[in-house]
């Protein structure tokens, strides 16, 4: 029969989890402070506009639902926000904002998972293992 884990060992594991959560939260705060963060569910997309003689490529934010205020209509929103040509400041800022959003989302998932792990240390249920049924 396996020996029951000592309280000290349990506290050490809890401390490692807490320290890691603090580290990830600091990284998340650093990313948030480094620049604009894209709204959840946004990406940068390329689209083509047709001129009289040529086709032009532009970039835009695309969202899952209408969140960007329309410039010509009050209280109306669009799923798209124009960013401009490739390499424009708005285009590059948009790409970086989406990357920050992805990093923050992944850090948030990791923090949530570690919080759950910490809770598991102090749950009243003993884990016996998984049964295949």
Q: C-alpha dihedral over 92, 97, 100, 106, to 10 degrees?
A: -120
- The encoded tokens of residue 63 equal 């969202």
Distance, in Å, from the CA atom of 101 to the CA atom of 36, rounded to the nearest integer, reads 9
**pLDDT at residue 25, as a whole number:** 98
Which pLDDT value is given to residue 52?
A: 86
Q: Of 128 and 78, which is predicted with more confidence?
A: 78
pTM for this entry:
0.79
Q: Residue 53: pLDDT band by 50, 70, 90 thresholds?
A: confident
Question: Which segment of 2-6, 55-59, 61-65, 72-76 scores lowest on mean pLDDT?
Answer: 2-6
Does residue 24 surpass a pLDDT of 50?
yes
């Amino acid at each position: 029969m396996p020996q029951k884990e000592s309280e000290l060992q349990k506290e050490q594991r809890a401390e490692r989890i807490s320290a890691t959560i603090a580290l990830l939260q600091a990284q998340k705060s650093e990313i948030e402070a480094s620049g604009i963060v894209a709204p959840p569910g946004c990406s940068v997309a390329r689209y083509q506009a047709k001129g009289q003689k040529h086709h032009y490529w532009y970039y835009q934010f695309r969202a899952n639902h209408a969140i960007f205020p329309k410039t010509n209509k009050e209280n109306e929103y669009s799923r798209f926000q124009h960013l401009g040509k490739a390499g424009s400041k708005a285009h590059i800022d948009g790409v970086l904002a989406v990357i920050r959003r992805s990093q923050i989302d992944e850090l948030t998932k990791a923090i949530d998972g570690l919080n759950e792990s910490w809770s598991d240390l102090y749950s009243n249920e003993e884990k016996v293992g998984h049964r295949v049924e």
